[in-house]
Structure 1
Amino acid sequence: MNNVTMKARDTISAKLADCFVTINGNRYNFMQMIDFEAKVDKTKTKVPILGRIMEGNKTVGLAGSFSGTAHYNQSIFRQALLDYKNTGIDTYFEIQITNEDPESAAGRQTFVFMDCNTDGGVLAKFDADGEYLDEEIEGTFEDFKMPEGFNILNGMQ
């Protein structure tokens, strides 16, 4: 048997990433993030097809969302919520995520999420029994691009 397998060193370290947020022309190294996930959900419609028992499925759109946990030590998104309350003008922003583990032959991947908007957020908090404060950050995005993709690993093709 000549089964080619992935090398353990080609996994991507969960901790080796960069996160940048650009709001109102200001670019922030959002190093407060503990974890982050952005995903798209397909919007599908059912398609009846004559001569088939199984109906088909046609993708007719996408919806993007993100979620993550951050250390509670920045006021950027709280200020955006306050600005919205005071002016009625909501804040849209960009998030850039890069994963790169120098040990992995997979290389580097970068995604940019545009027209991001939070679903709300924590205004104030404390925890007298806790070790540190963190907060959930959730929202939507309306577009994305991938300026850099991972390399094809040896054995994949």
Structure 2
Amino acid sequence: MSGFLKSGDVISGREGTAFMTIDGRNVPMFWLKNIEATVELIKTEVPVLGKRMNQQKVTGANGSGSMLIHKVTSEFAAIGINYLKSGTIPEITIKVTNDDPNSSIGRQSTLISGVIFDSVPIAKLDIESETLDEDVSFTFSDADLLDQFSQPTLG
């Protein structure tokens, strides 16, 4: 293989957008500092005749994620308090788009569905912090890749 990856095609972590849909209401996630969603494959060990090493078979998956946010929204407090009062959790999706205009590979958009937060912050003060941030972890039950990066042109 000849050629090399052009530095301009490395995606900037600051270029992109994120939106959360809560029961059909679209909420721009401008307060987001970072987000990561991961699919963990569930494997079963399979011993086979004639092999000394066991093999693995994928039998399912779990979706989980985390985000760090600036504390400038009451969306999470409203979800938690609404659950306390009504016993209902809203239907939530998160769409994350990586879109670096300096890169030739285009953009990637991922839709994360069936989002349920592990805990929701409802109040916070911190005298040792110049700004307030909150860690929010979640699980999800489905995901779709709406847009995919193209292959980079080698230099």
Tell me, yes or no, whether TM beats 0.5.
yes
> 1:8-87, aligned counterparts within 5 Å?
8-87=7-86
Check the 8 A contact 1:108/1:148 in 2, yes or no. yes
Give per-residue Cα distances to partners, 1:123-157, cap 9 Å, x unaligned. 211122321101011100100001100011124xx
Which is worse superposed, 31-40 or 128-137?
128-137
Give per-residue Cα distances to partners, 1:1-26, cap 9 Å, x unaligned. x7311001111011011010000110
Structure 1 unpaired stretches of 5+: none
Q: Which runs of 4+ in 1 moved over 6 A?
A: none
Shift of 1:92: 2.9
Check the 8 A contact 1:121/1:136 in 2, yes or no. no
SS in 2 for 1:85: helix
Shift of 1:70: 0.3
**Counterpart residue number, 1:131:** 130
In percent, how many aligned pairs have the same letter?
32
Which is worse superposed, 62-71 or 87-96?
87-96
Separation (CA, whole Å) in 2 of partners of 1:153 and 1:24: 37
Q: Are 1:95 and 2:111 counterparts?
A: no
Separation (CA, whole Å) in 2 of partners of 1:20 and 1:35: 13
Check the 8 A contact 2:92/2:113 in 1, yes or no. yes
Letter in 2 for 1:138: S
Check the 8 A contact 1:95/1:116 in 2, yes or no. yes
Check the 8 A contact 2:107/2:148 in 1, yes or no. yes
State the TM-score, normalized to the length of structure 1: 0.94
Check the 8 A contact 2:76/2:122 in 1, yes or no. no
Shift of 1:89: 1.4
Structure 2 unpaired stretches of 5+: none
Number of matched pairs? 154
**Counterpart residue number, 1:114:** 113
SS in 1 for 2:79: helix
